[in-house]
A and B are shown apart, each in its own frame.
Chain A
């Protein structure tokens, strides 16, 4: 379970997040929606221990990310694509992540195969297309066989086949009892994949709950989103 409570983040006079509170539960796919600059990435970065909150906590099964003994075996994450330096090969990237996370070497081939990069392990990341970089980022997230997945815009740049594949992957992960938290801008994708929704606008949570409850009273998720975030005004 990922529990975020009372999260506030200020950069000088600018408040990026104010009192953000929500949970992502095991067995469910939680979609995290909001316009650009609403605070999605900031929230995820604090959850992953990259940024420090001004106030509040972000816990993974009751512990902050930085206190997890083997973090990538508890939470698999992907922010902004591959997260690899462009001059290394895909395999080298996964090799050092595995070393750092205490993950056995055999997982490298397994995840390369799983994300459809089996033939591109020796290719340098700089030569990758956007979608391939995305797949490499996902491979690194899956490396430690984590119970929770935290993914920022996972379908960004993926081709139709890739989108279908990731849909199946995330559904399967949740059905097996795992936790999935993903952010996205693609309403139709989110409506198709998620069980629960969290909507953020201007650094504040404007709605949380099961998909059907959040949509209730609107024709589609997209209309609900615009009504809740006021983004169409």
Chain B
């Protein structure tokens, strides 16, 4: 009887922890800002891109832009969504370790969190679930909105996009954001401060990532986390990245990285003094 109850309690603890983390995330101004970046950033860039494409086509110089498809205009703005995902992954952890009054003896929220949910793996899992739900929600709003806006602006002038591949790329972008957010979370658990993960991940979510520089040195660099997943949503119209991993392989490699980071950070988080 007792054992049964204890067994039943486990999923309950996780569920309760997830709800608690979701509430914490929802009320944290920084995570609201991160969500705003993930939604408004891609939308803003999409609008700018779409108008450039439209102007180029209207003026009869489509060669001025790299593409004329609405989907391309939308997906080239996806790195801004990655930035939002990174911020979200970082702040759900770094906010726990920021001292309220960073003077000597300042209280940190992690103390209260671990007092409420002493099982650390549950805490971490709940945070990861909360982050994933947040990122997916942002992606579900942002990506269709971007595609719609790009289609609306460019309109009939556009090279039409096929629905199937476009949907696959949207799913790929959402996955890329989610995995990046999880890596951000895991690295922040290790560093306890947001600065290093923010820098490393923002640099490598950009078009000019260090990983891309390293691909000149060795094609193995395509197995680095950010480069591996690039084809999840990025087409390669100019054929610049012929050695890049295919979407499925790349997505799996990137997921393996994210799981690896999460495993290391769980091991550290459960062993370390808060």
Contact = CB atoms under 8 A, between A and B. Distances in A.
Direct contact of A and B (CB under 8 A): yes
Contacts of A132: 104
Interface residues of A, number: 18
Contacts, number: 34
B110 interface: no
Interface string B74-106: 000000000000000000000000010111111
How many of chain B's residues touch chain A, expressed as a range?
A: under 10
Contacts of A136: 104
Contacts of B99: 86
Contacts of B101: 80-81
Interface stretch (A18-26, A108-116, A122-130, A200-208): A122-130
A83 interface: yes
A81 B104 CA distance: 8
Interface string A154-187: 0001000000000000000000000000000000
A129 B105 CA distance: 5
A128 B103 CA distance: 9
Contacts of A89: none
Contacts of A80: 101, 103
A39 interface: no
A134 B106 CA distance: 12
Interface in B92-131: 99, 101-106
B105 A128 contact: yes
B102 A133 contact: no
A190 B84 CA distance: 52
A interface secondary structure, majority: loop
A130 B105 CA distance: 5
Interface of A: 80-86, 125-130, 132-134, 136, 157
Nearest to A137: B103
Nearest to A133: B104
Contacts of A81: 101, 103-105
A157 B105 CA distance: 9
A36 to B, nearest CB: 15
A129 B101 CA distance: 13
B104 A129 contact: yes
Best-surrounded residue of B99, B101, B105 (most CB of chain A within 10 A): B105
A178 B94 CA distance: 45
14 contacts: A80-B103, A81-B103, A81-B105, A82-B104, A125-B104, A126-B102, A128-B105, A130-B104, A132-B104, A133-B103, A133-B104, A133-B105, A136-B104, A157-B105
Contacts of A130: 104-105
- Nearest 5 CB-CB pairings of A with B: A133-B104, A130-B105, A128-B104, A81-B103, A82-B103
Contacts of A84: 103
Nearest to B103: A81
Contacts of A129: 104-105
A35 B104 CA distance: 24
Nearest to B99: A86
A130 B101 CA distance: 11
B108 to A, nearest CB: 11
B97 to A, nearest CB: 12
B103 A83 contact: yes
A9 to B, nearest CB: 22
Contacts of A83: 103
A199 B106 CA distance: 28
Interface in B176-219: none
A84 B99 CA distance: 13
Contacts of B104: 81-82, 86, 125-130, 132-134, 136
Nearest to A132: B104
Interface in B39-71: none
Nearest to B104: A133
A15 B137 CA distance: 42
Interface string B2-25: 000000000000000000000000
Nearest to A136: B104
A132 B102 CA distance: 14
